[in-house]
Amino acid sequence: MSENIRKFGTAPVFFTAISTILGAILFLRFGYAVGTVGFIGVIFIVILGHMVTIPTSLAISELATNKRVEGGGEYFIISRSFGLNIGATIGIALYLSQAISVAFYVIAFTETFQFLFDYLKETYNFILPRQAISVPIMLLLSALILRKGANLGVKALYVVVAILAVSIILFFLGTPSDTSAVGFNLANAEFRNPEQFYIVFAIIFPAFTGMTAGVGLSGDLKNPAKSIPIGTITATVLGMIIYFFISYKLANNANPEDLANDQFVMSKIALWGWIIIPLGLAASTLSSALGSVMVAPRTLQALANDKSFPVRFINFWLSKSRSKDNEPVNASLITCTIALAFVALGDVNIVAQIISMFFMITYGTLCLISFLNHFGSSPSYRPSFKSKWFLSLIGFVTSVWVMFKISMAYSLFAFSIMILLYIYIDYFHRNRKGLSSIFTNTIFQVNRNLQLYLQRRKVVKSLTDWRPSVICLSQNSFVRDSAFKLTNWISYKYGFGTYLHRIDGYCSKSSFHQSQQELSRLIHNYGDVSHVYIDTIISPSFTSAISQAIQIPSISGMENNMLILEFDKENPGGLTNIIDNFKLINSGSFDVCILASSRKPIIFKNGIHVWIKTTDAENANLMIILSFILLGHPDWRKSDIKIFDICKKGEIAEVKKQMTDLIEKGRLPITSQNIRILVEEEGKSYKSIINSNSADAGLTIIGFHEDSIKHLDTTTFEGYDDLGNVLFVNSYKNKIIE
């Protein structure tokens, strides 16, 4: 876009902001505030209000100097920080607030003609509707903006701000005829009616807002990174200083009764107040209306440019600009129509409170974006103007707190509208889902600090607070998914899991490219339903892959303590590799789970069968805990655990008592009916008993020992042909069930 179109400097930003800050509330309601809560009370209100506005002005100045702010101002910053769906949600609410604000300021402008309304009523007993003034003014304003655009608006701003400045100066120069009855000085300044503090705050707070109004011109500025910080911060600070002095002037020149009951009390104080204060009110409301009617269409156009609306033609039509001056004429037409409709209604008091909520959400969001950027510490966040993270946090917290202090009902209503709007936009723009970088950077920082904390404290080292931190290594990810499912079941609620897909070969450019492609496939296939961290590992042999796997750190911040390997029951060629490397696996002090994958379907309702024998003293508790952990996954929600113990005939009573005590003390979801004690039968093998009792089980868990591998080799894991998936468990140390 050429420079002759983007032609505005810093002055329009400053004038748009200051004219909105020093608006209708200043002339009509600020005296009421001083009269009601006193000078000290108003000072507290000014300070509290600027605990929102100053951090917001600093935050938006910081964000504007990090990268170029294009058309849409606040919407552009929010959408490029939080993503287009969240941005569109806040942007639509912000646009409606800006558009309705035009009506609010035009209606306030009609108060300038209070003398006319009073004259007609007193002389002719005729009540002239406010719309007789406000509707023609709105039509005239619309015609000027549609014909001349922002260029005329900026020129008009210079005039109305000049009138505004003169009116404020003459107010300070004026003195009422009788000040002896006031008797005010700083020594006797008081805080009156503290119970009405938040009521008055709700009425006065809009007087401090508007500091972001100039940001909406971002698309029309020569240098937004310079103009936005200077114009916004200067207007905010100057506005605060002026309000302090106006509070003192009002308290020192009028008694509380006059301040509280006469909305034109300033005209009785100012020099030539009978004419200059109505002119100042007219200037402030007209300038605020001009600022809003220039900014709102640009927000709407930016929303359309991002295809935020569900109809393609609407996006296309609203995004069009007039070729000669780049004015968003179609968006301006819609804005003026909305404003005219509310002007015709004549009373926007309720709407004004709701739009104040949306403005507060916008201010809080801007502060939150600044805080998250500080916290996330992304190298790409390098603003030339820097605020402080704690100021942004104060601004965000105060914004939310102030919203609920102003009105609990309207705050909840505003948040409900935002949530419903987001659900619709997120559904309509399903292709735009995903975390924005600001969230991923924040999650990264939180995760990093938690990992370091856990590592320093060794919180999870206690045997009584054991939980699985699993590594699963598999080369068959695209052939069968049983190993991944097992890791996902364990990681869903109680554990942490890392799934490593092994690529056979040496690390090279081509194998690395292959690993990236296969990782993308795995995340695409399993990412939506996975609670497992997925990665790839390139290794020329199974031995080297095991060596690498048992040394990698856990993403959970705790040490990995369990290794899952798998083989195909129908084609157990991979079992030899596992057995040959078992000594290496054991060197890492890992619990080892070897999954024998079956092609039989998993019947979840048939439950998990845990088989314990007398030699499983160390394995038993881990097997039971694992079965309990698996039940935490929704796949197993209708399942139960059945424990089988094979013992000698004379040991039945003792074994049953031990198992019952274990279940009761461990508070496990297993009833005594689900414990079966089986007696060893001469001539009947251990494996045949399991095959006959667990043929239809969803999963069968069996213990094994290193010694059995040494003596029996692969036969330790063979002979379970009637079963489905079998999980063989070897516990490095006995786990305590409390």
**pLDDT mean for each 10 residues of the chain (738 residues):** 57 83 84 92 93 91 77 80 86 87 86 85 87 90 79 70 90 74 75 88 81 69 81 92 93 88 87 88 82 86 90 91 83 93 75 74 89 80 84 94 86 88 85 70 77 64 69 92 93 88 92 93 84 92 92 78 92 87 84 93 93 80 89 89 84 78 66 81 84 93 87 86 94 76
**Residue finishing a domain among 345, 371, 405:** 345
Q: Is residue 537 within 8 Å of residue 574, measured between CB atoms?
A: no
Dist. CA 46–CA 55, nearest whole Å? 14
Q: Supply 501's token pair.
A: 């897909």
CB-count exposure of residue 489 (10 Å: 0-12, 13-18, 19+): buried
Task: Name every residue whose Cβ is closer than 8 Å to that of residue 152 and which is 6 or more positions away in sequence.
Answer: 144, 145
Residue 697 falls inside a structural domain: yes
Residue 28 falls inside a structural domain: yes
Dist. CA 626–CA 620, nearest whole Å? 10
Q: Is residue 676 within 8 Å of residue 702, measured between CB atoms?
A: no
> 673 vs 119, 656, 676, 686, CA distance in Å?
93, 11, 7, 22
**Residue finishing a domain among 293, 320, 345:** 345
Helix, strand or coil for residue 613?
A: strand
> 165 vs 50, 68, 90, 392, CA distance in Å?
21, 32, 34, 31
Dist. CA 275–CA 696, nearest whole Å? 94
Dist. CA 713–CA 719, nearest whole Å? 13
Using a cut of 0.75, tell me whether the model's pTM lies above it: no
> 577 vs 446, 450, 544, 721, 728, CA distance in Å?
39, 37, 12, 21, 16
Dist. CA 287–CA 67, nearest whole Å? 29
**Residue finishing a domain among 345, 366, 398:** 345
Dist. CA 106–CA 291, nearest whole Å? 12
> Helices (DSSP H) in 407-461: which residue ranges?
408-428, 437-457
Residues 466 and 612 in one domain: yes
Q: 656 lies in which domain range?
A: 458-730
The tally of domains found in the chain comes to 2
Residue 469 falls inside a structural domain: yes
Dist. CA 92–CA 98, nearest whole Å? 10
Residue 373 falls inside a structural domain: no
Dist. CA 164–CA 169, nearest whole Å? 9
Dist. CA 265–CA 723, nearest whole Å? 91
- Give the pairing of strands 726-730 and 591-597: antiparallel
Residue 352 falls inside a structural domain: no
CB-count exposure of residue 699 (10 Å: 0-12, 13-18, 19+): buried
CATH no. for residue 505?
3.40.50.12370
The predicted pLDDT at position 434 comes to 60
Q: Supply 316's token pair.
A: 């296309």
Q: Tokens 């406010």 sit at which residue?
A: 130
Residue 449 falls inside a structural domain: no
Residues 95 and 230 in one domain: yes
Which one-letter DSSP state was computed for residue 279? H
Q: Is residue 364 within 8 Å of residue 396, measured between CB atoms?
A: yes
- Of 236, 325, 308, give the one whose Cα is nearest residue 4: 325
Dist. CA 556–CA 72, nearest whole Å? 41
The H or E element containing residue 547 is helix 542-549
The predicted pLDDT at position 4 comes to 45
Helix, strand or coil for residue 635?
A: helix
Residues 341 and 468 in one domain: no
Q: Supply 66's token pair.
A: 């990090």
Residue 527 falls inside a structural domain: yes
Residues 563 and 700 in one domain: yes
Residue 404 falls inside a structural domain: no
- Of 614, 611, 574, 619, give the one whose Cα is nearest residue 699: 611
